[in-house]
Homo-oligomer: A and B are copies of this chain.
Amino acid sequence: MTSTSVASTSTVGCCVLSPGEVIAPADAEHLARTFKALSDPSRIRLLSLIASADGGEACICDLTDPVALSQPTVSHHMKQLVEAGLVTREQRGRWAYFRVVPDAIERHAPFLTSTIR
């Protein structure tokens, strides 16, 4: 059994900005990589499918049909979500299983809302 996740280089709460505060260049770089991983509709659907799966875990074998893509294509998309640190991948026997990384979401989500505070 192997588990893979790419650790974030950013500190927790990097992207929670006070009113009048401008995001630091290093945090902007990090955030841009996250948003790039989410800049494809299939990857957004895949993230949503994993988040909504029973127990918060989805087998790649259950992800191909809903997005109507081949397994190699889904694997390619999943690799990008894993590399962005948004999901973890665990190989169990024949299949890979994925989970959303709550810390990564909590770290990145506040940036958008901080722009309208």
Interface check A102, CB cutoff 8 A: yes
- B41 & A28 in contact (Cβ 8 Å cutoff): yes
The 8 Å CB contact of A40, one of B25, B32, B48, B66, is B32
Interface check A72, CB cutoff 8 A: no
- A-B pairs with the 9 shortest C-beta distances? A51-B115, A36-B39, A109-B112, A28-B41, A35-B38, A23-B48, A32-B41, A28-B44, A102-B116
List 25 A-B pairs, Cβ < 8 Å.
Answer: A20-B52, A21-B48, A22-B45, A23-B44, A23-B48, A28-B45, A28-B48, A32-B38, A32-B40, A32-B41, A32-B43, A32-B44, A35-B36, A35-B39, A35-B44, A47-B115, A48-B111, A50-B115, A51-B114, A51-B115, A100-B115, A105-B112, A105-B113, A106-B116, A109-B109
Binding site for B on A (CB under 8 A): 17, 19-23, 25, 28-29, 31-32, 35-36, 38-45, 47-52, 66, 100, 102, 105-106, 108-109, 111-116
Inter-chain pairs besides A35-B35, A51-B116, 17 sampled, C-beta below 8 Å:
A20-B52, A21-B48, A22-B49, A25-B45, A28-B41, A28-B42, A29-B41, A31-B44, A32-B41, A35-B36, A35-B38, A44-B111, A47-B115, A48-B111, A50-B115, A106-B116, A108-B112
